[in-house]
Structure 1
């Protein structure tokens, strides 16, 4: 594969930026912040898409890092590359709501489908992980990831066992590991322990429930429902008859009270005979005092006797006769006076005499009335006394019936309470019996589930043993087959390092891609080498791994400020090796001019791109 053109339409700081690349050595130069790393990641994004992460990592993923500075709704680019004699145009839209990829063969104008959005169908094993650990060396990221060791093992094992690199050992191991985690995660040990606790709890509850049932049975034996109903019916009948008797006694008492009221009503006074000057409304009716006499007699005793009024009348008549005989001899004023006195005596005497006679008649009539009334009262008192004795008897009978009613009500209340208590105990026992049945059923289910889980655990143990055995066999096989690629990889890295450094040293690479230096006495960790030597060693291992993964396929080598720790001599050796022996395209992104000066000194041809033009 040879990258011929790059169109950074909208990517990071670049807007409609175009560059052409040569088929062999390419130097892309620019100072700090010129966009060298942006170009590197643009090539990576065109190959594999712009990764988008989630959560906190989303703020620093490739998609977020290289969003266009201008026109953020347009996030796209184009790459033109040549592969196996055919020219292709690859277009990608990275914008999150319009993600798309289009590959067109410019020689045939045919659209090439990319189901997974990558170019792995063109170059076998051309994955993002392999790119990042072999031909794509990002700035300060020359070290290989630990997971890449499994990729190389997979490649060697697949080729040794099947002859195909599409059968992935790492995928098989990952699948076995997922299955192992699933079995561990889905292990029923925790459920079995929880069921054991639940079974213990159910048995305790069942025993407590059984004890409560026995206690309630003992309480129910103290009661007889038929006896309680019979006593309740008896008390209800007694209350009914008692209530009827009380009603009858109350009615009789009411009748006696009404009769006594009529007997105690005041008698209508009998009016004595009156003269032509009086009427019944002119005098009030009097009753007896508390001493048994009429108060009218007291008033009569305080007036003048009737005979005295007669004397006055006679005196008036005599005075008038005398005045008639001697009026001629009496002066007129005196005569008038005597006439007035005579008239006064006659009127007073006449009125007093008439009034006295009337009062005497009324007194005689009042005495007769009082005697009749006294007789009526004596008769009424006799009847009242008889009614009183009868009413007292009725009251006593009523009080006795009320007392009997209260006793019956108390008895009825006790019966009701006892019957209600009996029903509550019976309902509680029914509820406890239902609980007992429910707990028994739950216990049976728990025991059945316990047995099922134990069977499941046994099966899972068998499956887990099978998974562990298969995983162990594959890992042992990978370790054994590592010898088939580990030594060639180490030899190739050692050869390149010896050419770069000019020293004869042998490097050892184990199955985890951990490198050590063989100094003929011991294996020394490469961490003791200088930073520059480590960078060179990592590059040598990357190139050896690329040879193992991509075989004879020509893939571009992209280096982003990889030579910062190289001295001039070793940089010259590396660039000379690239120019003479590396069969693919090399793209070097640098902030210095050493690479150009060295290539010019070696008289090597290269394509130069200045990002600051």
Structure 2
């Protein structure tokens, strides 16, 4: 894989930043804060992504550190690579809310599927990237710490082809795990737990046998209860017919009793009414007798007499007419009016008397009229009394007839009652037998309830017992699992020991050969043989002696570290082209070491990308006449 160019669309401080890289040597120069580390991180992010951490770590993680300063939603970039002569374009959106990752075959113009992407980057993971093709200086660690780093690095590569496992501390970790497993699982209690499981299962089996007996007893009682219920239904049906006939008889009697009561009440009512009518009749007859009326004919005679009698005062009218006639006679007798005074005296007296009789006649007429009306009113009252008396007589006849009818009906009803009372329901009474059946049912139900209560108690105890068995079995399985884990730990220790013995005979031999080649090239033949013994001690063969790494200078150890990483990259990637990324890797190198290393890489590596904040790498390349691609940030 060769990186052809990168485009930081929006990443960290860069916006639409385009860099073109070439095969061979590339020097990316920039002062501090110019963005070298950002570019290095971008390449790693395009290959493996950058995940947002959670919690407190999210404030200082790479995602937050390189989130775009402007328009953070567009957290995006592109990188073009070449593999086996084919150009691919990698596009990635880092934004946590809109993440995307695409690899496009530019030669064919198609997007790669997941399986094709995995095949393209086979053997390359983030750990491999950081520990092989991405090389930085070891830093300010001591010589002893450098030796430990190299030992672990070589051992891990030899056993796992990975840099994520520290073999040196593997045995200590395995022993610690073994001790923790033994403490947590309490393996020593295996026999006790097994015996407790056996006893608990025996108790559970005994309890379940007792429960089967109780269940059988309950079923038997339920069958008895079922038989009783059927018999009870039969007797209840028979007794229901008897009760129905008895109810009908009682209902008829009750209806007759009610009818007798009603008739008696009606008879008493009509008797009381008859008595009242008779008293009223006597009262009216006495009232007529007091008024001298002995019958309706007398009353009609008096009424006719009063009605035909005139109100005119005949006597006063006659007298008035006589006075008027006298006055006329006196006037006619003195027609010559001989004496005027005498002529009007006598007629005047007569006319005055006639006027007085007129007045008296008028008063008498009014008096006669009132007297006549009074007599008519009295006769009307008498007639009303007689009408009431006739009505009372008619009512008395009606009430007497109704009273006689009620008495006859009562007599008939009493005879019916007597006849019904003499009747009886000639059917067998099962009530006592039904009471006995109900008592037996209650007794059986109580027995069933008691048995069910005992069964529930046993079942609850079984649940607790089963829970105890489960806990014991879980504990026993944990012990067995712990024994398996302990055996696995022992096997792992044995396998690690076997692998350690094979390091020099297999992968270790290849690693030594490649590392020796690289250390010879970058030290210009000063050290041409790198050796890793059975105890993971690293030594180098000079032309005169075998020298332990602890005796070498820090700069030489840096070269050994680089040789090991380059050797590991060759073995892991085998024949694949690979870029080598150097991030201030020459900080601890003197000019001679740096010159030898740069010449070798420029002449032998497919692609080398040097990130540096110094110009010494550019000056050295110019001095050595090396061809390189220079990029200034």
Q: With structure 1 as the length reference, what TM-score do the two structures score?
A: 0.51
1:122 to 120, 134, 141: 120
Residue of structure 2 equivalent to 1:232: none
* Secondary structure class of the residue paired with 2:496: helix
**Contact 1:40/1:138 (CA < 8 Å) preserved in 2?**
no
d(CA) in 1 for partners of 2:565, 2:75: 32
**Contact 1:82/1:88 (CA < 8 Å) preserved in 2?**
yes
d(CA) in 1 for partners of 2:9, 2:2: 20
Residue of structure 2 equivalent to 1:572: 595
Write out aligned runs for 1:342-357 (5 A): none
Structure 1 pair 60/522, CA: closer, same or farther in 2 (3 Å)? Answer: farther
d(CA) in 2 for partners of 1:434, 1:6: 79
2:522 to 496, 500, 513: 500
Residue of structure 2 equivalent to 1:8: 8
d(CA) in 2 for partners of 1:519, 1:573: 17
Write out aligned runs for 1:369-380 (5 A): none
Structure 1 pair 438/86, CA: closer, same or farther in 2 (3 Å)? Answer: closer
Structure 1 pair 490/453, CA: closer, same or farther in 2 (3 Å)? Answer: same
**Contact 1:133/1:144 (CA < 8 Å) preserved in 2?**
no
**466-475 or 49-58: bigger deviation:** 466-475
d(CA) in 2 for partners of 1:556, 1:106: 20
Task: Give aligned pairs, total.
Answer: 362
Structure 1 pair 473/590, CA: closer, same or farther in 2 (3 Å)? Answer: same
d(CA) in 2 for partners of 1:61, 1:140: 22
Please, which runs of 5 or more residues in structure 2 have no aligned partner? 140-145, 201-453
Q: Deviations over 1:480-501 (max 9, x none)?
A: 3312122332343234334433
* Secondary structure class of the residue paired with 2:611: strand
Residue of structure 1 equivalent to 2:626: 604
1:595 offset after TM fit, Å?
Answer: 1.5
**Contact 2:518/2:566 (CA < 8 Å) preserved in 1?**
no
d(CA) in 2 for partners of 1:572, 1:124: 33
Residue of structure 1 equivalent to 2:160: 154
Structure 1 pair 534/474, CA: closer, same or farther in 2 (3 Å)? Answer: same
Write out aligned runs for 1:7-46 (5 A): 7-46=7-46
Structure 1 pair 112/437, CA: closer, same or farther in 2 (3 Å)? Answer: closer
Residue of structure 1 equivalent to 2:96: 96
Q: Deviations over 1:357-412 (max 9, x none)?
A: xxxxxxxxxxxxxxxxxxxxxxxxxxxxxxxxxxxxxxxxxxxxxxxxxxxxxxxx
1:54 offset after TM fit, Å?
Answer: 3.3
**58-67 or 533-542: bigger deviation:** 58-67
**Contact 2:531/2:541 (CA < 8 Å) preserved in 1?**
yes
**Contact 1:188/1:453 (CA < 8 Å) preserved in 2?**
no
* Secondary structure class of the residue paired with 1:552: coil
**Contact 2:181/2:486 (CA < 8 Å) preserved in 1?**
no
d(CA) in 2 for partners of 1:114, 1:149: 33
Residue of structure 2 equivalent to 1:105: 105
d(CA) in 2 for partners of 1:95, 1:553: 32
1:509 to 532, 551, 556: 532
Q: Deviations over 1:564-591 (max 9, x none)?
A: 1111111110011012222x11101111
1:541 offset after TM fit, Å?
Answer: 0.6
Write out aligned runs for 1:231-310 (5 A): none
2:484 to 453, 460, 463: 463
d(CA) in 1 for partners of 2:546, 2:537: 11
Write out aligned runs for 1:136-175 (5 A): 136-138=134-136, 140=138, 146=152, 149-155=155-161
d(CA) in 2 for partners of 1:189, 1:551: 49
d(CA) in 2 for partners of 1:555, 1:21: 13
**Contact 2:519/2:530 (CA < 8 Å) preserved in 1?**
no
* Secondary structure class of the residue paired with 1:78: strand
1:123 offset after TM fit, Å?
Answer: 4.1
Residue of structure 2 equivalent to 1:339: none
**Contact 1:492/1:544 (CA < 8 Å) preserved in 2?**
yes
1:44 offset after TM fit, Å?
Answer: 0.7
Structure 1 pair 480/87, CA: closer, same or farther in 2 (3 Å)? Answer: same
Residue of structure 2 equivalent to 1:359: none
Q: Deviations over 1:191-231 (max 9, x none)?
A: 979x98xx9xxx9xxxxxxxxxxxxxxxxxxxxxxxxxxxx
Residue of structure 2 equivalent to 1:543: 566
Q: Deviations over 1:463-485 (max 9, x none)?
A: 33553354345424422331212
Structure 1 pair 56/472, CA: closer, same or farther in 2 (3 Å)? Answer: same
Write out aligned runs for 1:313-392 (5 A): none
Q: With structure 2 as the length reference, what TM-score do the two structures score?
A: 0.49
Structure 1 pair 560/478, CA: closer, same or farther in 2 (3 Å)? Answer: same
1:34 offset after TM fit, Å?
Answer: 0.7
Structure 1 pair 558/436, CA: closer, same or farther in 2 (3 Å)? Answer: same
Write out aligned runs for 1:412-427 (5 A): none
**Contact 1:149/1:511 (CA < 8 Å) preserved in 2?**
no
CA RMSD of aligned residues (A): 4.6
Residue of structure 1 equivalent to 2:612: 590
* Secondary structure class of the residue paired with 1:80: strand
1:445 offset after TM fit, Å?
Answer: 4.4
Q: Deviations over 1:340-368 (max 9, x none)?
A: xxxxxxxxxxxxxxxxxxxxxxxxxxxxx
d(CA) in 1 for partners of 2:535, 2:85: 38
d(CA) in 2 for partners of 1:596, 1:501: 20
**Contact 2:94/2:100 (CA < 8 Å) preserved in 1?**
yes
Structure 1 pair 51/146, CA: closer, same or farther in 2 (3 Å)? Answer: farther
d(CA) in 2 for partners of 1:111, 1:87: 12
**Contact 1:9/1:77 (CA < 8 Å) preserved in 2?**
yes
Residue of structure 2 equivalent to 1:367: none
**481-490 or 124-133: bigger deviation:** 481-490
1:124 offset after TM fit, Å?
Answer: 3.0
1:33 offset after TM fit, Å?
Answer: 0.8
Residue of structure 1 equivalent to 2:510: 488
d(CA) in 2 for partners of 1:123, 1:513: 31
1:102 offset after TM fit, Å?
Answer: 0.8
**Contact 2:151/2:536 (CA < 8 Å) preserved in 1?**
no
Structure 1 pair 132/513, CA: closer, same or farther in 2 (3 Å)? Answer: farther
**45-54 or 83-92: bigger deviation:** 45-54
* Secondary structure class of the residue paired with 1:68: coil
Residue of structure 1 equivalent to 2:131: 133
1:458 offset after TM fit, Å?
Answer: 6.0
